[in-house]
Amino acid sequence: MSERILPGLQLEKVDDRIMTLNVGPQHPGSGHMRIILKVDGDYIVHCDPDPGYVHRGEEKMAEYRNYITNIPHLERPVIHDSCNILYPYCLGVEELLGLEVPERAKYLRVIAAELNRCVYTQYWLGIYGIFLGHSTMFMWPVGDRELFIDLLEKMTGARVTHSYFVPGGIRNDVPPNFEDVCLRHVNYFEKRIKEYADVFYDNPILISRTKDTGILSREDAIKLGTTGSVLRASGVDFDIRKKEPYDVYEEMDFDTNVLKEGDSYARSKIPWLDMFQSCRIIRDALQKMPKSGSVRVKLKPNPRGGDTEVYRRVESGRGTLGMHIVSKGKPQPYRLKMSVGSFRNLIAMPHLLTGEKLGNLPPVYWSLNYWPVEADR
Amino acid sequence: MGTASGIIRALNSGIKHIATKRFTLRYPEQKLKFAGDGYQYDPTSGVGIAGYKGRHILYHDKCTGCNLCSIACEDIAEAIAMPKVDEQWKHNKKAIMPQIDYGKCVFCGLCVDACPFYALYMTNDYELSSFTKEGLIYTPAQLQVKPQVQQDAEIQIDERGAKHG
Amino acid sequence: MSSTNNTEIEKIEDTSLVSDTEKSLSDSISKKFPNVQITYVNPNRIRVNVKREEIIDVASFIRDELHFDHAESVSGVDYPEDNQVEVVYHLGSYTDPSLSKQILALATRTPREDIPHPGNDNTKLPSLYDVFPSVSFHERECFEMLGVYFEGNPDNRRLLLPEDWADIPPLRKDFAIKGR
Amino acid sequence: MSVIAPKFRLGYLLKGIIDNALWILVIATLIAIPAIQIILIYIDLPVIDGILWDPFRTLDAITHPERALPLVKAFMQTDLFKVVAFPGFGFAALIAAAVIFVERKMLAKLQLRVGPFYCGKVEGILQLMADGLKLISKEIIIPAKADKPIFWAAPVLFAATAAAFVALIPVAPGWVVADIDLGLLAVFAVIGFFPIITILSAWSANSKFPFIGGIRALYQMVSFEIPLILSVLGIVLLTGTLDLVDIIESQANFPWIIFMPIGAIVFFICILAELERIPFDLPEAESEIVAGWLTEFSGMMYGLVQLGSYLKLYAFAALFVVLFLGGWNGPLIVPTFPAEIINEGIVLMPDALVIKDIPGLPLFSQEMINGTVWFLLKTVGVIFFILLPRGVFPRVRIDLLLHIGWYKLIILAFVNIFIALGLVYGGIIGPGGIL
């Protein structure tokens, strides 16, 4: 350690041939992050992602709030997927406090989580479409997302930040005749997302644009620890819902989608295919759900965990979402660490973008299923 | 020839959708209908009742000024203060009631869960914008008012697509 | 981890839920490395505590012999009363289907200094970058959030915090939030 | 509905309007009217049909339309009218405005949304005017290290070049601004200016993203101009002329698209690329290079570029109609005018004291109106197909684009030329052919 590495700003030598491009943070194609690119002509020779523009210190904040008041804060990193991000927290706290969730609540949790996954994926897909200059593919998913937002709003009372899951169940039961509305919306939604194939997924221009770009081999995908759709597009069959089923996912009838190619096209197709499976799960859960019963275990005012730690994980819209909760016998967690899919897929970004053309930046970047706010926490 | 047929399929799908129903909710003229009268909570069973989490409604005849909603909000948004009110209630000797700052509130509804006396619920009213920051602070007297809402648009699905109507 | 010894004994005795996989994994680790302390063996979760000198050997053994191939998270926990910072690597496996449920928590500790000077003080650990390349950004985050310098990580720059951050690492327990 | 600003008072508005009116009146009486008087002394007044048109006669003609008619007819024969109004800029700008509105509404319909809706009460028909006002009233920001004269000139040059392109398009028999023998060559000479303007503005902005966008635009336009020219060579071979009017007249019986569909397809794809429209809008690919060479433009500078690009769109669509769809040729659908209208005119206000009838109407011949209608119908059809890809296609990548331009389209254009040669030497069409 003779040479001290300074954190922060560093001045760099400028080459005549190489141009440095700051893609972000004020750039229509960057999201809340900066990608420092060095381009030689049209080729990217160096890529350095610089997240952190929306870092909120969620992990630090969680150490100061008790197990219930953490709920509205912890869903903030991904408000479009707020049920799924609360899921590992609730599972972990239930394990800490030794709570048993009522059966009906488990099914409703699964329904809410799958609706939320579709809502997130539609939003992601919309941005993917507009990144590729396809404005219809922005408007259609964002419009059709409204169907499920409407359902979630009937269910939870809020359109995006639901605060629906609590340790020990869910906040409230669904309104009467929810099942019929849900089934109708899910069927129409499935019909709509099938139509995306014509203009987007089977579109020869899109295929020629994204096929064979940013190829992530199976070995690299495992080595870099990617997760979710990125991993499954590289030919690794890994889905927490199948591998380590939580709540009632064991009883659900669905398949995981695995593609071998590992390119941007496969990575962008996996979430779309997953939405069909989500529709299957919702229909299945609606059928198998007990028609009545309690949905929440009553908690003491300030529940305290033991002197232990848990690590629970679920499959979110962006891959495995794990929460490591260390408890020290206080009402607050001693340490809460979120291991999020966005952050883990970000590790693959320099690997994928180096050597690509500049025109491949948007499809490769957004097909990583990266949500800047979640990665920053 | 796969390229040509793909291009023709895409163009055909585009032309077909020109004749599909428009899905847009025309907001100020139409307002979306919600389930129920707003989020409520039953402290005896410990389970909420589904409804929209909008502006709160405070029943002065039930509020005891126990501070529980304010304590619940302390770690979340710090939106609830407990000022003195100019009223005489047998069950509220201190005469303090919640006053909510909607510039801070995140509409999580955990204050409703905290109220053990059926005094604080939420309503379907979400049009709270104001020209000043002070206008966003709702006093107990303002929270007492039952909102007048006209929300009747619902998503209707038929063969030719979905629309709000 | 001084206080967890009681719970550890409890949990190991409660063997009804723990399957053979976890037991064989923990046995093979403790057979190979007698100094390693197996803290608990829960259903699907194993935690091992290692000394920082040994961590690369243990991690290589876990990768090569036990087929754990990636790190899911690297979480640092600050223990001011022990005057130590703990770093927990949560390791998982994609290649071995029988291990896909398992998470192996590999924990190690490093001394902590009251006046931290990230990168230049005693709070250092050998990096697992050569064993698991997937830890790269996680270790960068751990460095800025807890001030643990990872020797051997090629990239120890700042990741999430602003460039002009001049305070102590924010996830240390003595970094207090205003008003709390 | 948006609320009017809280400080709004009707009294202040009325006061402002009255103030402005008063100042206009004062300035008009004190400066404008004397200035007009002085100018009138020095200019030569026009003589039409042997009558000297002094200002008093002109004022008189306002109340007597039958006397104004020769003046109007004479004005319509001038170059000024052709440039400013009918086949020239005014007509094209009107169509461009309509195209912008239709594009937005059509795209909205395709995407299951509403589009412009509130501005102008009826389906947002005044939205474009509102956008124009917004652009005019916005501040123009020039980058500090920009090459200012070129940066200022680029949008003006762009709109002017597009207008020059419009001037070459014949709309109806006899109605063309610049009727030159080498019309097709002139068209390509004008098109050749666009990449130069683009790269000039991109370089002068002194910024990275405009520079990349400008280079992309240069590559794209240069590589697509060659197939564009080659694809129309077939028609030149068949007709033996470069005059656009002659090309239209050669299609009196059948349009050329029947014999050379390949050429038409190549030409159409090249149009999309030249216009920088989706799927070929790489110079403005916002997710990679912000807005390409338009990044640093603001306010009305951006508005001028947009106006120019929509004028260009109309001109290219019209060129397609002229070359492949037979221009103004079409069956007579406008009914013949009754003889009494031409001889005696329409009786306006029969009870009025002054005016009985206006002989010499209508202003345009039946043939010309018919030609314009056909021309417009065909142009609108072509514009629809230029707009539609925006709804259903994503953007391509630059290397794919150049590959399409240099490999596929040039080969197809040559195939088209060989077809034309076959038709000529087979004696089917062309000089001395069967058809």
* Residues D252-306: tens digit of each pLDDT: 777 888 888 888 888 998 888 888 887 888 777 777 777 788 888 888 888 888 8
Q: Domain for residue A33, yes or no?
A: no
Q: What local confidence, expressed as pLDDT, does residue D25 receive?
A: 93
Domains of chain B: 36-145 (3.30.70.3270)
d(C-alpha D427, C-alpha D405), whole Å: 32
Say if CB A296 and CB B41 are below 8 A apart.
no
d(C-alpha A289, C-alpha C57), whole Å: 49
Q: Which of A171, A194, A330 to mutate to test the interface with B (most CBs of B within 10 A)?
A: A171
CA distance D412 to chain B (A): 15
CA distance A194 to chain B (A): 12
Q: What local confidence, expressed as pLDDT, does residue A1 receive?
A: 38
The first and second tokens of residue D284, run together, are 């403005």
Residue of A232, A55, A23 whose CA lies nearest to A131 = A23
User: Which residues, listed in sequence order, are joined to residue C47 by a DSSP beta bridge?
Assistant: C40, C105
Q: A361, D288: Cβ pair inside 8 Å? A: yes
**Dihedral (C-alpha) C72, A85, C87, C148: value to the nearest 10 degrees?**
100
**Any chain C CB within 8 A of the CB of A169?**
no
Lowest mean pLDDT among C82-91, D232-241, D356-365: D356-365
For the segment D236-253, the average pLDDT, to the nearest whole number, is 83
**Any chain B CB within 8 A of the CB of D240?**
no
* pLDDT at residue A183 greater than cutoff 80: yes
**Any chain B CB within 8 A of the CB of A136?**
yes
For the segment A286-306, the average pLDDT, to the nearest whole number, is 83
Nearest to A202 among B9, B38, B109 (CB): B9
Which of the four pLDDT bands, split at 50, 70 and 90, describes residue D357? low
For the segment A169-181, the average pLDDT, to the nearest whole number, is 86
**Residues of B with Cβ-Cβ distance to A203 under 8 angstroms:** 6-7, 10
> Is the entire prediction scored with pTM above 0.90?
no
**Dihedral (C-alpha) B35, B37, B41, B47: value to the nearest 10 degrees?**
-20
d(C-alpha C119, C-alpha C74), whole Å: 18
* pLDDT at residue A325 greater than cutoff 70: yes
d(C-alpha A316, C-alpha A81), whole Å: 8
**Residues of B with Cβ-Cβ distance to D388 under 8 angstroms:** 11, 14-15
Which of the four pLDDT bands, split at 50, 70 and 90, describes residue D349? low
CA distance B51 to chain D (A): 27
Q: D391, B26: Cβ pair inside 8 Å? A: no
Percent of chain B at pLDDT > 70 equals 99
Q: What local confidence, expressed as pLDDT, does residue C180 receive?
A: 66
Q: What local confidence, expressed as pLDDT, does residue D351 receive?
A: 58
* pLDDT at residue D137 greater than cutoff 50: yes
CATH of the domain at A262: 1.10.645.10
> Which residues span the domain enclosing C90?
5-115
* pLDDT at residue D231 greater than cutoff 60: yes
d(C-alpha D322, C-alpha D251), whole Å: 9
For the segment C42-53, the average pLDDT, to the nearest whole number, is 83
The residue of chain D with its CA nearest to that of A130 is D287
Q: Domain for residue C132, yes or no?
A: no
Say if CB A29 and CB D287 are below 8 A apart.
yes
The first and second tokens of residue D413, run together, are 């254009």
Most distant CA atoms of chain A, gap in Å:
71
Say if CB A96 and CB A168 are below 8 A apart.
no
Which of the four pLDDT bands, split at 50, 70 and 90, describes residue D360? low
Q: Domain for residue A29, yes or no?
A: no
* pLDDT at residue D187 greater than cutoff 60: yes
**Residues of D with Cβ-Cβ distance to B22 under 8 angstroms:** 108-109, 112-114
**Residues of A with Cβ-Cβ distance to D403 under 8 angstroms:** none
Q: How many residues does chain D have?
A: 435
Q: Domain for residue C150, yes or no?
A: no
DSSP for residue D3: P
Q: What local confidence, expressed as pLDDT, does residue D431 receive?
A: 60
Structurally, how many domains does chain C consist of? 1
Which of the four pLDDT bands, split at 50, 70 and 90, describes residue D385? confident
Residue of B102, B123, B5 whose CA lies nearest to B56 = B123
* pLDDT at residue A35 greater than cutoff 60: yes
Q: Domain for residue C96, yes or no?
A: yes
Q: A135, D282: Cβ pair inside 8 Å? A: no
**How many A-C residue pairs are in contact by the CB < 8 A criterion?**
117
Count other C-beta atoms under 10 Å from residue A305's C-beta.
24
CATH of the domain at C17: 3.30.460.80
Using CB atoms, which chains have 3+ pairs under 8 A with A?
B, C, D
The burial of A26, by beta-carbon neighbours within 10 Å (0-12 exposed, 13-18 middle, 19 or more buried), is given as exposed
* pLDDT at residue B124 greater than cutoff 60: yes
Which of the four pLDDT bands, split at 50, 70 and 90, describes residue C10? very low
Phi, psi of C41 (to 5 degrees): -125, 100
The residue of chain B with its CA nearest to that of A62 is B75
- Mean pLDDT (chain C, rounded): 79
User: Which residues, listed in sequence order, are joined to residue A44 by a DSSP beta bridge?
Assistant: A39
CA distance D330 to chain A (A): 35
Q: Domain for residue C41, yes or no?
A: yes
Count other C-beta atoms under 10 Å from residue D234's C-beta.
29
Q: What local confidence, expressed as pLDDT, does residue D112 receive?
A: 86
Q: Domain for residue C94, yes or no?
A: yes
* pLDDT at residue D170 greater than cutoff 90: no
Count other C-beta atoms under 10 Å from residue A164's C-beta.
27
Percent of chain A at pLDDT > 90 equals 3
d(C-alpha D22, C-alpha A146), whole Å: 54
Percent of chain D at pLDDT > 90 equals 4
Structurally, how many domains does chain A consist of? 1
Residues 6+ apart with CB under 8 A from D418: none
Say if CB A128 and CB D282 are below 8 A apart.
no
Residue of B45, B31, B50 whose CA lies nearest to A178 = B50
Residue of C169, C167, C166 whose CA lies nearest to C146 = C169
Which of the four pLDDT bands, split at 50, 70 and 90, describes residue C9? very low
> Which residues span the domain enclosing A215?
58-340
* pLDDT at residue C38 greater than cutoff 80: no
Residue that the structure tokens 């889905």 belong to: A239
Nearest to D393 among A21, A134, A362 (CB): A134
Which of the four pLDDT bands, split at 50, 70 and 90, describes residue D17? very high
* pLDDT at residue D23 greater than cutoff 90: yes
Q: Does the N-terminal peptide bond of residue D359 adopt cis geometry, omega within 30 degrees of 0?
A: no
CA distance D38 to chain B (A): 56
Say if CB B17 and CB B158 are below 8 A apart.
no
- Mean pLDDT (chain B, rounded): 85
Q: Domain for residue C142, yes or no?
A: no
Q: Domain for residue C65, yes or no?
A: yes
For D50-78, how does the pLDDT look when each residue is reduced to its tens digit (9 = 90+)?
A: 777 777 777 777 777 666 777 777 777 77
Q: C77, A335: Cβ pair inside 8 Å? A: yes
d(C-alpha B128, C-alpha B54), whole Å: 9
**Any chain B CB within 8 A of the CB of A256?**
no
Most confident residue range from A315-324, C77-86, D17-26, D402-411:
D17-26
Query: What is the three-state SS of chain A?
Result: CCCCCCCCCCCCCCCCCEEEEEECCCCCCCCCCEEEEEEECCEEEEEEEECCCCCCCHHHHHCCCCCCCHHHHHCCCCHHHHHHHHHHHHHHHHHHHCCCCCHHHHHHHHHHHHHHHHHHHHHHHHHHHHHCCCCHHHHHHHHHHHHHHHHHHHHHCCCCCCCCEECCEECECCCCCHHHHHHHHHHHHHHHHHHHHHHHHCCHHHHHHHCCCCCCCHHHHHHCCCCCHHHHHCCCCCCHHHHCCCCCHHHCCCCCCCCCCCCHHHHHHHHHHHHHHHHHHHHHHHHHCCCCCCCECCCCCCCCCCCCEEEEEEEECCEEEEEEEECCCCCCCCEEEEECHHHHHHCHHHHHHCCCEHHHHHHHHHHCCCCHHHHHC
Q: What local confidence, expressed as pLDDT, does residue C76 receive?
A: 87
For the segment D114-124, the average pLDDT, to the nearest whole number, is 81
**Residues of D with Cβ-Cβ distance to B28 under 8 angstroms:** 1
d(C-alpha C82, C-alpha C103), whole Å: 26
Q: Are strands A335-339 and A319-326 parallel, antiparallel or unpaired?
A: antiparallel
Q: Domain for residue C122, yes or no?
A: no
- Mean pLDDT (chain D, rounded): 82
Lowest mean pLDDT among A209-218, A225-234, A338-347, D74-83: D74-83
Residues 6+ apart with CB under 8 A from A114: A278, A281, A282, A285
The first and second tokens of residue A69, run together, are 């008041």
* pLDDT at residue A117 greater than cutoff 80: yes
d(C-alpha D371, C-alpha D170), whole Å: 10
Residue of D189, D266, D278, D198 whose CA lies nearest to D230 = D266
